[in-house]
Structure 1
Amino acid sequence: MKYINYILAGTALAFMASCNDFLDTIPLDALSPGSTWKTEVDAQKFLVGCYDGWESGGEILYMDCASDFAYNNFSWEGYKNFGNGSVTAANPGANFYNYTTIRRCNTFLENIDQVTFADEKVKKDLIAQVRVIRAYRYFKMNWLYGGVPIIENYKSAQEAQVPRESEEKVRKFIETELDECTPDLNVKPSERGRIAQGAALAIRMREALYYGDWSTAKAKAQAIIDLNQYGLEQGTEGYSKLFQLAGQDSPEIILAVQYVTPTKVLGVIGQMYNNGDGGWSSIVPTHQLVDTYEMKTGLTIEEDTSYDPTHPFKNRDPRLGLSIIYPGADYIAGDGVKKVFNTLDKTVNGGNNSNYMTAADNASKTGLTWNKYLAPITQYSDIWKTAACPIVFRYAEVLLTWAEAENELSGPSPEVYNKINQVRQRVGMPKVDEAKYNTAAKLRELIWRERGVEFAGEGLRRADILRWKTADGKMLAEKVLNVRLERRVGTVDMAGADSETRATINVNALAEDKLIEVRKFEPKNRYFPFGQSILDKNPNLKQNEGY
């Protein structure tokens, strides 16, 4: 399948003339009605311009740093303060409040009727794609900030100073847009990265899931299943391939952000590698994530008596090693040579270890590095200019959403178990123990864990720990983010034959040697704050409570 030609995006933007900067981020581009909107080619060019920035691969990869599953070491990158709860209006972290793409979509919808199409179905499909893009942008902002303005293409800064709509009203707008335009979309995408019915249904599915609309979430998941377009990559090799250049046309991928060298590249990949491989360790997994993976038996580490905390990587769910490079693991280093990953020892073979956790700012502070999207490093000719395409939606999410929604509606059933088992068994994990997980509450625990480890590093964890509630009615985030974030101290036997036991962890290490940071999460952190500069531009935009 072809991918969207982002060279066209540059062509489309080249047609654009500047306009005033207001609201928050007004696009400094807009097609001039006098010089374009004449032909179908003009419309296609502007459509690709709407795709440019509809989602950010970097934001997807960084977002788990706002959860218990990942850590960002550099405050200036904008995600560390989400993880430790120190965001304020003056220091709001990364900014997701951006109307550039929405303005482009509005401009497209305002002008598309000027163009005569040979086939009315083509026109309807293009309009539907743009409406879906716009709805997705609103969904993302609405979830993160809790109610945002629904805007027109205002002609002045004063007109653009509009108040927020309620979160519920923005939801209604998003849901109506998606429900109305999905039938007009192509059943299958015309190119890789284009929105078709499956992608629109996936957005609607996720939005419903996040807000606990179980019936809709299940219905949209079933509609995707009924398209018969998607399927799981099988085996551990298939799971790994999903996050490699070689897997970008996988039938499991419903929609991904498109990057292509040299036109539009993703440099965040370079920031993720460890110090010894020329990276910054900007985004690293945590040991809270490691502890979430089950043993190969299907038991948790608390349940399985064979679990040894001095060798925590032994006999674990294969997705641990497929997702994370842990101390003692075999990996391909930046020079293309297979090596043993060592972040625990200050020196290796008599020389200083540049990957030692406190050896440099660019060394992983948790001692862990992602495998997803990074391995093998040899797939990239330049780690700072990659064509990695972070996944937004994939079929495993459809199956687990169906299972979660049905469990919340009706409790365990053979079909709920079947959906979960499809995801587990494709990497060799045992089927769900139906005798053990025989109530909605018990099965909920497993679904939460399964979703966590399946999508680790893919940007979904923050939303999950906000929407999931503990027995006392509090957000799960209030439990898992009010903690000491710690590394593990120990040593690696570089000559050891078993990669899972080369690392030996010192379980009696001093607390000060393990501490990375003290994290905090308050109820106000459910929503991100608007930065003061945004509030200054729009005095009618009310700040979120608590900031």
Structure 2
Amino acid sequence: MKKAYHILSIALLSGFFLVVACENGLEEETFSVYDENVLTKPEHAEQAVRGVYAALKDNGGFGYYAGYLYWLYEYPADVVTTTPTARQGVQIDQLTYDASNSVINNVWTSVFRLISRANEAEELISNVNYIGNASSVTVQNQNLGEVRFLRALGYYDATSLWGDVPLLLKSSSKFTEADENPALVDQAEVEKAMIADLQFAESNLPASYPPAEIARATSGTAKALLVRLYMRRGEWQKAADKALEVMNKNYDLRTTAEGGVVSLYNTSNRSDNEFIFVLKSSNEAGAYGVNSNSFGINSVPWDYNRGWGSFPIHLQFYSAFEKTDARRDLLTGIFKTLYGQVISVPKQYGGLGGAAPDTVAATYIYNLKYPHVNNYNYAGFNNVTILRYADVLMMRAEALNELNGPNQESITLVNQIRTRSKLSELTLGSFTTKAALRDKIFEERGREFFMEGRRRDDLIRWGKSASNGATPLLKFKEKVLPTLRSAATYSDNVDYTVYPYPQNEIQSNTSMDASVNAGRVK
């Protein structure tokens, strides 16, 4: 018997669940060791919830939100690039990927592993008698809200990356034969299920947790993800209204007096009120989160602090910042290497430059949002931002502009971000058209959210808005084409708003065949 990792049949949940698909010819069966007669206590449900959170890092601290997801969200866009030796990354960066790309396969696996764990946990939690075990329905609904939020987050990523995807909202014990090889479901239908999950979560999750549990989803977390989803759908009024609800949840920006935007990402800043939801990595006793991730070591090059340099950034991006912009300090504009040389951004890109032999011109810059402080250590304890209050402010500003054109509230919201970074305030009179303010907002988003997994989605949404939905890739092409090593790589016949479905899934799911990738690859 050959073991086949049919991802839509995998659930590994805190040691409680194990679902393995076996393949024998064309026959496939799913087995589960989940025993509802044993897992009957609220503490079992709590462990199940933790198991779903743990799926956010996946693959030993390198997968999903601990690394691979950002390859798909950042590499194809115009800010982050990759080194020529990273073959799978180069394919994504240069738009030459196909269905066999290992990162595309890995992220699909990670996303649906999280969804599968959430489904298993939902059933376990629903079957536990909380009241009879000295707990309450309130706690039960909180646990359900957490796993339903996480399931919605998984489906948000799945639909952002692939559009139509299989929709499974039940545990493996309830699978029918059709569920073993699920068909693709229209993205709009998947989004309806996501909205239902998030609305349940916002109604049943608490506003906050104790400091050690800061990484758990709150009602504000669910609302913020709803804002992001409404923005993607172009439902501007819903997005603006929901963003306002988040703004009334007592979040705030880290102020200049507190150290400003640069200090926001310091490893000692574990639970800032600007973080709405993070992948929290911590070695603190009892911390509610995963123990490590690889973001720090991936974010800087070897000669900076023995990093892997997986996320280099184009030099042109450095020149997009005003010299007084505090966010520029989150990039390696100039630094002394381990070997005593100084690497500096050339003057033509806004850097200080310098003369050889003591100074070497930078080929790339790197982000410092995930500081690597552990030399020769594959793991670090960086928080990885998933939802941030600054993003909510910018989304409301964008939504109000789409509804009303240039308006003072949008300007005021953007100015909160700018003044925190020591920049001058914008004025309403400088923007006479919706398009002009839209462009400014997206330019500001690029400088604020680099290496936070937002740029690809932003370019697609920008294109949709600028073309009234007619040409979603309008801005993607405009910004990305000049960064490609060969302009011939870009094809107008490929829909870069979605990735190809992974070859592994096509081979194991009889509801899919190679035709599903028509128009998704050259």
Instruction: Quickly name the TM-score band, shorter chain normalised.
Output: 0.7 to 0.9
Question: Structure 1's 483 and 28: CA in aligned 2 closer, same or farther, altered over 3 A?
Answer: farther
Which of 201, 209, 227 is 2:231 aligned to? Answer: 209
| Structure 2: distance between partners of 1:526 and 1:385 | 32
Which of 389, 398, 402 is 2:396 aligned to? Answer: 402
Q: Provide Cα deviations, 1:35-94, integer angstroms capped at 9, x if missing partner.
A: 32x211111011100111235121355432221101122575643322211111233643
Question: Structure 1's 343 and 289: CA in aligned 2 closer, same or farther, altered over 3 A?
Answer: closer
Q: Does 1:254 align with 2:265?
A: no
Question: Structure 1's 107 and 56: CA in aligned 2 closer, same or farther, altered over 3 A?
Answer: same
After TM superposition, the score normalised by the length of structure 2 is 0.81
Question: Structure 1's 343 and 112: CA in aligned 2 closer, same or farther, altered over 3 A?
Answer: same
Question: Structure 1's 467 and 90: CA in aligned 2 closer, same or farther, altered over 3 A?
Answer: same
8 Å contact kept, 1:255–1:394: yes
Q: Provide Cα deviations, 1:419-441, integer angstroms capped at 9, x if missing partner.
A: 11111001110101322223322
8 Å contact kept, 1:268–1:384: no
Match of 2:349 in 1: none
- Structure 2: runs of 5 or more not aligned: 1-11, 24-28, 57-63, 285-289, 347-352
8 Å contact kept, 2:181–2:509: yes
Match of 2:164 in 1: 147
| Structure 2: distance between partners of 1:268 and 1:28 | 35
Match of 1:86 in 2: 96
Which of 128, 138, 157 is 2:145 aligned to? Answer: 128
8 Å contact kept, 1:482–1:521: no
AA aligned opposite 1:420: V
Which of 197, 200, 209 is 1:180 aligned to? Answer: 200
Q: Provide Cα deviations, 1:346-404, integer angstroms capped at 9, x if missing partner.
A: 99657xx9x876xxxxxxxx421222212xx4x43654220111101111001100100
Match of 1:307 in 2: none
Secondary structure of 2:220's partner? helix
| Structure 2: distance between partners of 1:19 and 1:347 | 60
Q: Bigger relative contact order, structure 1 or 2, given CA contacts below 8 A and separation 6+? A: 1
Which of 437, 449, 472 is 2:443 aligned to? Answer: 449
Match of 2:309 in 1: 281
Aligned pair count reads: 464
Q: CA deviation at 1:235?
A: 5.8
| Structure 2: distance between partners of 1:475 and 1:28 | 47
8 Å contact kept, 1:243–1:390: no
Question: Structure 1's 267 and 181: CA in aligned 2 closer, same or farther, altered over 3 A?
Answer: closer
- Structure 1: runs of 5 or more not aligned: 1-10, 296-314, 358-365, 486-514
AA aligned opposite 1:544: N
8 Å contact kept, 1:188–1:196: yes
Which of 108, 114, 120 is 1:97 aligned to? Answer: 108
- The percentage of counterpart residues that share the same residue type is 21
8 Å contact kept, 2:209–2:216: yes
Match of 1:528 in 2: 499
Question: Structure 1's 28 and 73: CA in aligned 2 closer, same or farther, altered over 3 A?
Answer: farther
Question: Structure 1's 170 and 382: CA in aligned 2 closer, same or farther, altered over 3 A?
Answer: same
The 5 A counterparts of 1:3-402 are 13-20=14-21, 31-36=34-39, 38-54=40-56, 56-59=65-68, 61-62=70-71, 63-73=73-83, 78-91=88-101, 93-95=103-105, 96-98=107-109, 99-117=112-130, 118-151=135-168, 152-154=170-172, 155=175, 159-190=179-210, 191-234=213-256, 237-261=259-283, 264-276=291-303, 277-293=305-321, 295=322, 315=323, 317-320=325-328, 322-326=329-333, 329=334, 331=335, 340-342=342-344, 349=357, 366-374=363-371, 377=372, 379-380=373-374, 383-402=377-396
AA aligned opposite 1:136: L
| Structure 1: distance between partners of 2:126 and 2:257 | 48
Q: Provide Cα deviations, 1:187-208, integer angstroms capped at 9, x if missing partner.
A: 2234211001111011111111
Q: Does 1:480 align with 2:479?
A: yes
| Structure 2: distance between partners of 1:81 and 1:144 | 16
Question: Structure 1's 268 and 180: CA in aligned 2 closer, same or farther, altered over 3 A?
Answer: closer
Q: Does 1:413 align with 2:412?
A: no
| Structure 2: distance between partners of 1:282 and 1:47 | 31
After TM superposition, the score normalised by the length of structure 1 is 0.77
Q: Provide Cα deviations, 1:243-262, integer angstroms capped at 9, x if missing partner.
A: 12122211111010022249
